[in-house]
Amino acid sequence: MGAVLYIPCDAAALAVGADRVECAFSEELARRNVEFEIIRNGSRGMHWLEPLVEVETERGRVAYGPVTPADVAGLLDGGLLDGADHPLCHGLTEDMAYLKKQTRLTFSRCGITDPLSLTHYKQHHGFLGLQRALKMTPAEIVQEVTDSGLRGRGGAGFPTGVKWNTVLKVQGEQKYIVCNADEGDSGTFSDRMIMEGDPFVLIEGMAIAGIAVGATKGYIYTRSEYPHAVAIMRDAIEIARKAGILGDTVMGSPYAFDMEVRMGAGAYVCGEETSLLNSLEGKRGIVRAKPPLPAIEGLFGLPTVVNNVMSLASVPIIMDRGAQFYRDYGVGRSHGTIPIQLTGNIKHGGLFETAFGLTLNELVYDIGGGTLSGRPVKAVQVGGPLGAYFPPALFDTIFDYEAFAARDGMIGHAGIVVFDDTVDMLKQARFAMEFCAIESCGKCTPCRIGSVRGVEVIDRIGRGDQPEEQVELLRDLCDTMKMGSLCALGGFAPYPVLSSLNHFPQDFHLKSLTEAAE
């Protein structure tokens, strides 16, 4: 047997040259008359080491990274194929501290397998959850998911089982499973990584959801900014269809389930579930008032489960290992694991799946290694563009839905963006309002007009134009947006603004506030 190398096809690896590295290895190995196979796996999630090349050895897979095309000849001369030591070598991949500290449940296969190999998928516990689900009644599946304590990973944290139960109980000539893969939050890429690195797990999760609630059709709504995820997901669906996993009889059962990938067109607000449904229907992505809940009147007015990618991709392991197994991870009312994305100005950026309960201190410093620039951390934004900025003084906050809410923040889609001390928090506050103005769907006044006024007020503060009065106005405006907006876009845009103002008053040039904070 020839040499076996793994070079990721994940978009983050491609963005830093994985294809060029693959080319260099192919050419160099052919030139040396070495028999070889290169498997394009998903990413292990250690993005600072991408492109991360792994080679199969008797001891296990050995990792090298970040590899550039110029390194290839030298690596091969130095004995890469035998897993020999080298300045770029990190030893056995599975022994790397960053991976060893994780609890990979949802991402158990990501980075290990060829994303489009059904054989790999089955070799690594694939379809065991679906097989078990097929032996249960729909009500029993819903109960299992409810008992696992799984909460919506998109940000709102609503119990997944409760949502499913509503759809199960309501009558409808057609029901839908809609996967919200419109991952627009800056600082997040876990949905993208699973779609590119382990697409069958999402297919399996959606099929289980369909069987559980009586839905026969599923849609994955994702972003046009994710062309690789779209292509891999579409290929995977086609493979699953041909293998009889999707179609009229799911794995030979009496259940039918099929699915399709749809793309957005660059509108952040379509990540909001009702806006997403309108967009899927071919309309403007305008937010709908709730009630009616999508569970009752969703896509085309029919009962619809709308779940985030991470929620659906966590279902197979819950069904395979049982509710109790999953539930035992985590703290308080946050059960299971959460794939945390460490991003921005951070030394060891990437994806870190762990049980709920780590502190921001552990995540930013112990795991993330502090800033990439080497300067002190000034702030982190958790939960995307609508998430609060936390100063290091609050880094004892644990990663848990309630702990973040108690400090006027949210974990959202679990992205952490790290900023060093060169960041100007007034600018960040202004950007939050500017972004809201650009992306507002326009249906409700607090969001549509409030965000524009927010930018103007912050600009006046920046110019020192009656700053104390303007801050009072800004707080009042934020209050109106929080209380009066129809959805989370206008409702949460004030969080990054107010947190900047409260935790970093010096950046707003406010003497009285600075004194009060001291």
Residues that bind other proteins (CB under 8 A): 11-12, 14-16, 47-48, 50, 183-189, 192, 224-228, 260, 262-268, 279-286, 300, 341-346, 349-351, 372, 381, 385, 415, 417-420, 423, 428, 431, 435, 438-439, 441
**How many C-beta atoms surround the C-beta of residue 120 within 10 A?**
18
Q: Which of 401, 323, 360, 358 shows the shortest CA–CA distance to 102?
A: 358
**How far apart are CB 83 and other proteins at their closest, in Å?**
26
Could you tell me the CA-to-CA distances from 422 to 342, 444, 463, 497 in Å, in that order? 19, 35, 19, 18
Q: How far is CA 192 from the centre of its chain?
A: 7
Task: Collect all residues with Cβ–Cβ distance below 8 Å to 288 and sequence separation of at least 6.
Answer: 274, 275, 277, 278
**How far apart are CB 33 and other proteins at their closest, in Å?**
32
User: Of 12 and 75, which has the nearer Cβ to other proteins?
Assistant: 12
User: Of 109 and 217, which has the nearer Cβ to other proteins?
Assistant: 217
Q: Which residue type is seen at 498?
A: L
**How far apart are CB 394 and other proteins at their closest, in Å?**
18
User: Of 28 and 225, which has the nearer Cβ to other proteins?
Assistant: 225
**How far apart are CB 26 and other proteins at their closest, in Å?**
19
Q: Which residues pair with 342 in a beta bridge?
A: 350, 416
**How far apart are CB 206 and other proteins at their closest, in Å?**
16
Q: Which of 361, 350, 307 shows the shortest CA–CA distance to 145?
A: 307
User: Of 256 and 372, which has the nearer Cβ to other proteins?
Assistant: 372
Q: In angstroms, rounded to a whole number, what is the distance separating the alpha carbons of residues 326 and 382? A: 24
**How far apart are CB 489 and other proteins at their closest, in Å?**
12
The continuous run of DSSP H or E covering 109 comes out as none
User: Of 255 and 389, which has the nearer Cβ to other proteins?
Assistant: 389
Q: Which two tokens stand for residue 502?
A: 């409260």
Q: In angstroms, rounded to a whole number, what is the distance separating the alpha carbons of residues 163 and 168? A: 9
Helix residue ranges per DSSP H, 178-308: 190-197, 199-213, 227-242, 273-280
**How far apart are CB 168 and other proteins at their closest, in Å?**
22
* Cβ 173 vs Cβ 210: under 8 Å: no
Q: In angstroms, rounded to a whole number, what is the distance separating the alpha carbons of residues 22 and 254? A: 44
Q: Which residues pair with 259 in a beta bridge?
A: 218
Q: In angstroms, rounded to a whole number, what is the distance separating the alpha carbons of residues 440 and 442? A: 5
Cis peptide before 291 (omega within 30 of 0): yes
**How far apart are CB 281 and other proteins at their closest, in Å?**
4
User: Of 331 and 449, which has the nearer Cβ to other proteins?
Assistant: 449
User: Of 283 and 333, which has the nearer Cβ to other proteins?
Assistant: 283
- Taking phi over 0 as left and psi of -120 to 50 as alpha, with beta for the rest, 227 belongs to alpha
User: Of 144 and 297, which has the nearer Cβ to other proteins?
Assistant: 297
User: Of 233 and 441, which has the nearer Cβ to other proteins?
Assistant: 441
User: Of 32 and 283, which has the nearer Cβ to other proteins?
Assistant: 283
**How far apart are CB 219 and other proteins at their closest, in Å?**
8
**How far apart are CB 22 and other proteins at their closest, in Å?**
15
Q: In angstroms, rounded to a whole number, what is the distance separating the alpha carbons of residues 21 and 49? A: 13
Place of tokens 């609060």: 388
Q: Which residue type is seen at 212?
A: A
User: Of 29 and 346, which has the nearer Cβ to other proteins?
Assistant: 346
Q: Which of 142, 143, 162, 160 shows the shortest CA–CA distance to 152?
A: 160
**How far apart are CB 420 and other proteins at their closest, in Å?**
7
DSSP codes joined into one string, 391-431: -GGGTT-BSSHHHHHHTT---TT-EEEEEETT--HHHHHHH
Q: In angstroms, rounded to a whole number, what is the distance separating the alpha carbons of residues 461 and 31? A: 64
Query: What is the bridge-based pairing of β-strands 89-92 and 53-57?
Result: unpaired
**How far apart are CB 280 and other proteins at their closest, in Å?**
5
User: Of 119 and 224, which has the nearer Cβ to other proteins?
Assistant: 224
Q: Which two tokens stand for residue 126?
A: 């694939």
